[in-house]
Amino acid sequence: MTTLKDIAEELGVSIALVSKVISGRMGTTGASEKTRKAILAKTRERNFRPNPLGVALRAGRRAAIGVFIHPQGGKGSGLTESLLAGIAETLNANDERLWLTFYKADQQFLQRCSQTSRMNVDGLLVAGIAHRELVEPILKIERSGVPVVTVVSEPLSPAIPNVYSDVAQQTYLSTCHLIDRGCKRIAHIHSLDERLKGYRQALREHQIEFDPALVYHDIQHFEVQHGVAAVRQWLEQGVTFDGIVAQSDHQAIGAIHELSRHSIKVPEAVRVTGVDNSPLCDASPVPLTSVSQEMAQAGKLAAQMLLQRVKGETVKSAIISPTLHVRASS
């Protein structure tokens, strides 16, 4: 590894001068064009990169940001992977290391938080589920001087900037899509309230009356079995429907399986949409139309916001627009 010292010695100038020229921060002083050129040339030649440890130590920073991730959207959604990829991209571009922790249960999360003071990070990114128990520990971290940015579906506190996909918009998009396709009676699997709102708004805007019988309630449950249960209930109750807006790809796949068991064809008899645009979409018996939450983009943005906060800037929460990906199921 080349250091400032190496360059300074080879050129017979002082370390400080090399530092100033390379960083471009000349302070009150200047440098002759000749030395400038020589230093920059040497820098390139030796492929010099400042040692982040030196920089951070001097600046009183840690050269690392913490990332706490709760695997969200269920296994196989690919959300976590996309999110991480986005985060990693931004952090790499800014020469920041990361301190990565996957937490499964909230208990683990709280435990991690209690170690804040010893965690040696410049900032903290928390991604996952917006549990109320998380608010206090996170605020405590903020107060201790470590800026936090969250990536959760509902902002935890006005004090903590958050990034997320527009949740209501997700179901709004897919419901509008099914209406466009000619569906008149669209069923819905209700797990998050915001998504129910998006579904209802789409109906309202198209003058379709809301029918409570078409909504299956299963708060906070997004698994395959819940899609199966929803379809089973509708069929048992004799509810007629020609579309299903599910709140996850897992639910949608479960619904498709159950429809198939009753020889109901997708998309001919019933059109189905999911949420997450996960890899499951292509592993579905009928490729699944789904709404992408754009987690990679969320990760990139959240990391950028956090780095800004580390620098002392103020940032505001951001909302990302979801995208509809149409496949054979609709």
Binding partner of 155, given a second copy, DNA, none, CB within 5-8 angstroms per partner class: none
Binding partner of 213, given a second copy, DNA, none, CB within 5-8 angstroms per partner class: none
In the structure encoding, which two tokens stand for residue 270, read together? 């019933």
CA-to-CA separations, 79 to 13, 34, 69, 197, 295, in angstroms, rounded: 51, 52, 11, 23, 6
Binding mask 26-45 for DNA (x = CB under 7 A): -xxxxxx-xx----------
Contact with DNA (CB under 7 A): which of 13, 129, 135, 315? 13
φ/ψ of 232, rounded to 5, equals: -55, -45
Complex with a second copy: residue 88 or 319, whichever CB lies closer: 88
Complex with DNA: residue 25 or 132, whichever CB lies closer: 25
How many residues form the binding site for a second copy (CB under 8 A)?
48
In the structure encoding, which two tokens stand for residue 266, read together? 């997708």
19 binds a second copy (CB under 8 A): no
280 binds a second copy (CB under 8 A): yes
φ/ψ of 181, rounded to 5, equals: -75, -5
Complex with DNA: residue 57 or 269, whichever CB lies closer: 57
**Which residues fall within 8 angstroms of residue 292, CB to CB, at 6 or more apart?**
276, 277, 322, 323, 324, 325
282 binds a second copy (CB under 8 A): yes
Place of tokens 């979409």: 281
Among 293, 297, 319, 321, CA closest to 161:
319
Q: Cβ of residue 67: shortest distance to a second copy, in angstroms?
A: 9
Could you tell me where the DSSP H helices lie in the chain? 4-11, 15-23, 33-45, 52-59, 79-93, 106-114, 135-143, 167-180, 193-205, 224-236, 249-261, 280-283, 295-310
CA atoms of 183 and 190, how far apart (whole Å): 19
Contact with a second copy (CB under 8 A): which of 81, 142, 166, 211? 81
Among 283, 253, 320, 289, CA closest to 180:
289
In the structure encoding, which two tokens stand for residue 286, read together? 């009928």
Among 326, 317, 324, CA closest to 153:
317
47 binds DNA (CB under 7 A): no
Q: Which stretch binds DNA (CB under 7 A): 57-65, 129-137, 185-193, 212-220?
A: 57-65
Contact with a second copy (CB under 8 A): which of 19, 35, 101, 317? 101
Q: Cβ of residue 95: shortest distance to a second copy, in angstroms?
A: 8
212 binds DNA (CB under 7 A): no
Residues that bind DNA (CB under 7 A): 1, 3-5, 12-17, 19-20, 22-23, 25, 27-32, 34-35, 50-51, 53-55, 57-60
Residues that bind a second copy (CB under 8 A): 1, 47, 49, 51-54, 56-57, 62-64, 71, 74-78, 80-81, 84-85, 88-89, 91-92, 97-102, 117-118, 120, 223-224, 250, 253-254, 257, 260, 278-280, 282-283, 285
